[in-house]
Amino acid sequence: MAAGLVLAAALACPWSRASADALRTRLVVEEGSGGAATARVVARRFRQAVRATWGVSLVGDGAVADAELKVRVVRLRRRVRRFRLEVVFSSLGDASVRAAASVVMRRRRPSRIVAARLLRKLVRRFRRELARARRRWRPGTERGNGEPADEAAGEEGGAGDEQRGEEPEEVSEEVSSESGAEDFSSDWVEEEPEFAEVPDEEAKGDIERAWEVSIATEHYRYLEDPPALSMAVPPGALGADEPTPGRDSVEFMLEARLTAENAEGRARFSARRDFSMPERDRATFTEAYGEFRQGPVMVRGGFLIESWGTGTLWSPSDILNPIDLRDPLDPEKLGLWALRVGLLFGDLSISAYYLPVPAAHLLPPVAGIALDGTVQSPSRWVRGRLVAADADVMPRFVSGGAQLREPSLENTQAAARLAWSGKKTDLAVSYAYMFDPFSTPAATVLAAGPAPTLRIDFYRDRLHVVTAEMEGVVGRWRFEADAAAVFPMREKLSAASVAMGPDPEDPVPYLAAVVGGDWQSAQFGGDHSVHLYLDLVFVFGLDGDLPDDPIGKLRFPFRRTAMFRFEYDAGRDLRFGVDAVSALDGFDLLVRPKVRYRIADLIEVRAYGAWLTGGDDGFFGTFDDNSRAGVELKASY
Amino acid sequence: MSWNARWKWSAGAVAGLAMALSLAVGPRRVEAGSKPDPKDLMDRSDKRHRIPGEHLRARMVLQNEGGDRRTLQYESWVVQDDEKGDKMRIEFSAPADVRGTVLLRVEDPDTKTDRQWLYLPAFHRTRRLGEADLGDRFVGSDIFFEDMKRRYVEDYSYKLVGEDTIDGKPCWVIESRPFSERVKRESPYGKARLWLRKDILFVVKSYQFDRQGRPLKEMRVKSLRRVAGRAWRADRVEIVDVQRHHRTVVVVERRDLPRSIPDELFSKHRLGSR
């Protein structure tokens, strides 16, 4: 584990009594060796309430001064929070400047509720005292013996009927004259539980709120150092001598939504700063679109995220949007410019897509190719060499062309989808005519002999993709099947590039399929439950073997693989889970444990790990030094 | 990815809580001294309070005895159709971890089973849900899936056990027990005691017992009002689970009765938009 990362958690929970709801959690994460960010969370959940303290500290090294920003939120009481903001500038010559501000904020409570509660308390107290006084002065009654019998009578009667336009009562006579004589509570509980009041007034308000603000900070560290770089590369020559130590990011997200009767607009904006991977910094709209609906017709246009497929853990049919794959364990779907027209005929849906802008996946950056053929990169997810280490001859590499796909009529993409939902089964088939979001490298031998020369080209092939999906339920079981057949069509590169040598081999069409399902237990112990998922993944070439180069590995990380997920919901705030991915034809394994705890409705903390192991020819085995542990804190309003 | 288990149960649940718990009856005079047939009362109650279409904005407060509280806000659309089956769509707007989540439940009137889908905005994906156990809780509340399904009157047997007064209004007290084999097999309840108001034939209070006959839940409704024709609704429903000492309060903030609700709203293919 990287120095300075401390993770401690202590749980004590009497699961046997769900109603006790007693849980104490203490979680502290620190990064203390001059790192870039510190997050600290201390949460204790008692029988009655949550006491939580959390804070974030960000450290930046600037040219003029080092700055540290600390934010700490302390929950003092149920409706009271103390916010402390502190800014420290140091290395300003010999001086340092520190500024801090604290503010205690109290959530507003309508004064009339407070007044009503106070009044009720007073009335109750008065009645109690009155009853005691009566007993005290009543002949033959012992003083102070027991509570008054009429206490709180009619307390619940506040919410009466609003019988507007009351119709005449239909029932003219009671059935028997024993009204009120029966005891319908003889087999009921002797003592009913008591709860704090839920006033109606609190309900008024922001259900129509159409915006959301979230702040998230994520911090993880790789548990091992990466392998040493090729000695053929001078330190710093390719910018590859400082591999990322992990992630230290802070992200601000804003979502706004405007809804009318037949139209809707939605936008999501994200501003992110990653102190460990500056290339992940962004300030952009992740989604922004407008939608119009009229009966069965729906038109949506803008910067969209669309999801196809039924696979839970991986879906080969989900092909439209580009993905940020710079961290393959944490892929992030990106928006795509698109116009979608949908028609609905009962349970049948037909959609057509126009995709004017070809989009590409974001891949881990490659700094270059060393003289010994080793691929150099600041990313820990780029490994390999273009030539075997024990090769007799070392070829010379020449950079060829790269296909850039700009928006144009010639580069237009389109897709269509037919989906149907039946009684027990949902089916969908789709077709897409699009560009490959991956760049495929291809090597061409320009000169053979004792000093060979290879040209490396990067292609963005046209693709014909056909997908088919199914999901169905039988009792508590849910089954899914999802497949995509991809047929690439290679276009020639520029004339100049082609003139340098013959075309390389055509790319291989392939089929990717997922079959699996999931099962959820009945609830037990109140609202505890277990959810299990299993998916089997098969990917194979339809006309030849799949490529095994670094991009090929990234494109097809799962070839014959089992994916498993276990989730245990321990009450409404705590969830434990484990994901496992294992190759079926060799030893290649990924295990990802995770814990999520909701401190309050607005704050959620997540701790997780990833352990990779396997042989050198497997995907996870290749990156077995990329095991990591991390924590994420997210607050949303 | 977190396909949250707590969402699995009862798509329609909360939306129609006030409706689902209101088994009510149409008017018929009861002659003096005669004893009404409780099944007939329940049948008329059911028919009287069904509404073709309803749109709600409400919140659900989950509360334990210690004071810990979680509030869910949602909007729902409900269609009650004897021929095509009931439909229900619920869209949650708060808190943040469930915002935008949509649940859709469509009933098949022939088999009395439901089809359910869940839209998860974080993944932009609609997912079909397996059948829930009728004793499963909806979003961690005290509402069972059983409470949210349409209760067919013929699936239960009834017994008139007496009379009582609730909030000054005379009520019949009726005991119901599962009757059909399916409900006997699946229902988490062994019996229920219902307080049916005589004037409007609306269930204003109930005690529910588990299959072993132990007290399980108490339900009370408040803020009753007539919403259309002879149909009534409660704008506040309180359910107390006396076994786990937990309470759920459903408060309706706004209720509309649109002349028609478009079918598209209840399509699985439109869960990502409204």
Query: Three-state secondary structure along A139-170?
Result: CCCCCCCCCCCCCCCCHHHHCCCECCCCCCCC
- Residue A337: pLDDT band with limits 50, 70, 90: very high
Strand A477-489, strand A462-474: pairing: antiparallel
pLDDT for position B9: 32
Residue B12: per-residue pLDDT: 36
pLDDT of residue A442: 78
Q: Which chain A residues touch B262 with a CB distance below 8 Å? A: 295
The predicted-structure confidence for A8-52, as pLDDT tens digits, reads as follows: 333 333 333 333 333 333 344 444 444 445 555 554 444 334 445
Measured between alpha carbons, how far is A332 from A314 in angstroms, rounded to an integer? 13
Tell me the pLDDT band of A82, cut-offs 50, 70 and 90. Answer: confident
- With an 8 Å Cβ cutoff, are A165 and B267 in contact? no
Beta A396-402 vs A453-459: how paired, if at all?
parallel
Amino acid at A304: L
Residues 253-272, chain A: which have Cβ within 8 Å of B? Answer: 259, 264
**For A637, which residue in chain B has the nearest alpha carbon?**
B96
More confident residue, B19 or A505: A505
How far apart are the C-alpha atoms of B257 and B236, rounded to whole Å? 18
Amino acid A243: pLDDT? 66
B99: which chain A residues are within 8 Å (Cβ-Cβ)?
A: 212
Taking an 8 Å cut-off on Cβ atoms, the answer to whether B223 and A471 are in contact is: no
Cβ distance A518 to B3 less than 8 Å, yes or no, reads yes
Other beta carbons less than 10 A from residue A185's beta carbon: 14
Q: Do A162 and B224 touch (CB under 8 A)?
A: yes
CA pair distance A588, A555, nearest whole angstrom = 17
Collapse the DSSP code of B16 into the 3-class scheme (helix H, G, I; strand E, B; otherwise coil) and give the result.
Answer: helix
For an interface test with A, give the residue of B14, B64, B230 to mutate (most A CBs within 10 A): B64
pLDDT at residue A6 in the model:
33
* Alpha-carbon span A145 to A164, nearest angstrom: 46
Chain A residues touching residue B65 (CB < 8 angstroms): 19, 193-195
Question: Is A19 within 8 Å of B65 when comparing Cβ atoms?
Answer: yes
> If you average pLDDT over residues A351-378, what whole number do you get?
84
Lowest mean pLDDT segment, chosen from A130-139, A486-495, A537-546, B179-188? A130-139
Question: What percent of chain A has pLDDT above 90?
Answer: 34
Q: Which of A255-259, A453-457, B133-137 has the highest mean pLDDT?
A: A255-259
| pLDDT given at position A167 | 45
Chain A residues in contact with B135 by the CB 8 A cut-off are: 522-523
Looking at residue B100, the DSSP 8-state letter turns out to be: T
- At residue A538 the predicted structure's pLDDT band, cuts being 50, 70 and 90, is very high
The pLDDT score that the predictor gives to residue B21 is: 42
Interchain contact B82–A (C-beta under 8 A): no
- Give A567 to chain B, closest Cα distance, Å: 9
Q: Is A478 on the interface with B (CB under 8 A)?
A: yes
DSSP label at A585?
A: S
Using CB atoms and an 8 Å cut-off, which of residues 171-210 of chain B contact chain A? Answer: 172-173, 193, 198-199, 201, 207, 209
Q: Do A193 and B242 lie within an 8 Å CB cutoff?
A: yes
Looking at the partner chain, which of A185, A477, A601 has a beta carbon nearest the beta carbon of B95? A601
- Rounded to an integer, what distance in angstroms lies between the CA atom of residue B55 and that of residue B59? 13
pLDDT grade for B134, boundaries at 50, 70 and 90: confident
Can you tell me the mean pLDDT for B54-73?
87
Minimal Cβ distance to A478: which of B99, B128, B246: B128
The Cα A417–Cα A28 span in angstroms is: 48
Q: Of residues B188 and A419, which shows the higher confidence score?
A: A419
Q: Cβ contact (<8 Å) for B95 and A164?
A: no
Give the nearest chain A residue to B199 (CA atoms): A169
The single-letter DSSP state of residue A499 is H
- Partners of A166 in the β-ladder: none
Residues of A with Cβ-Cβ distance to B60 under 8 angstroms: none
Is some CB atom of chain B closer than 8 A to the CB atom of A154?
no
Per-range mean pLDDT, top range of A67-76, A256-265, A394-403: A256-265
Interface residue B244 vs chain A (CB under 8 A)? yes
In this predicted model, which residue has the larger pLDDT, B170 or A617? B170
For residue B67, what pLDDT band results from cuts at 50, 70 and 90? Answer: confident
Looking at beta carbons, which residues of chain A come within 8 Å of B264?
293, 295-296, 298, 344
Question: To the nearest whole angstrom, how far is the Cα of A483 from the nearest Cα of chain B?
Answer: 17
Least confident window among A44-48, A136-140, B127-131: A44-48
pLDDT tens for residues A219-251? Answer: 999 888 776 654 445 444 444 456 678 899 999
Phi, psi of A497, rounded to the nearest 5 degrees: -70, -45
CB contact under 8 A, B5 and A569: yes
Q: Is B253 on the interface with A (CB under 8 A)?
A: yes
What is the pLDDT at residue B99? Answer: 86
Quick check: A87 and A99 in contact, CB under 8 A?
yes
Partner residue opposite B57 with nearest CB, options A19, A171, A207: A207
Mean pLDDT score of chain B: 83
The pLDDT of residue A65: 57
The CA distance from A382 to A553, in Å, is 10
> Length of chain A in residues, anyone?
637
Residues of A in contact with B35 (CB under 8 A): 175
- pLDDT, one tens digit per residue, over B235-250 is 999 999 998 889 999 9
User: Could you tell me which residues come within 8 angstroms of residue A567 by beta carbon, excluding any fewer than 6 positions away?
Assistant: A530, A531, A532, A533, A575, A576, A577, B2, B3, B5
Specify the pTM. Answer: 0.73
Residue B148: pLDDT band with limits 50, 70, 90: confident
Least CB-CB distance to A21: which of B68, B160, B263?
B68
Contacts of A49 in chain B (CB under 8 A): 66-68
- Of B63, B75, B263, Cβ closest to residue A195: B63
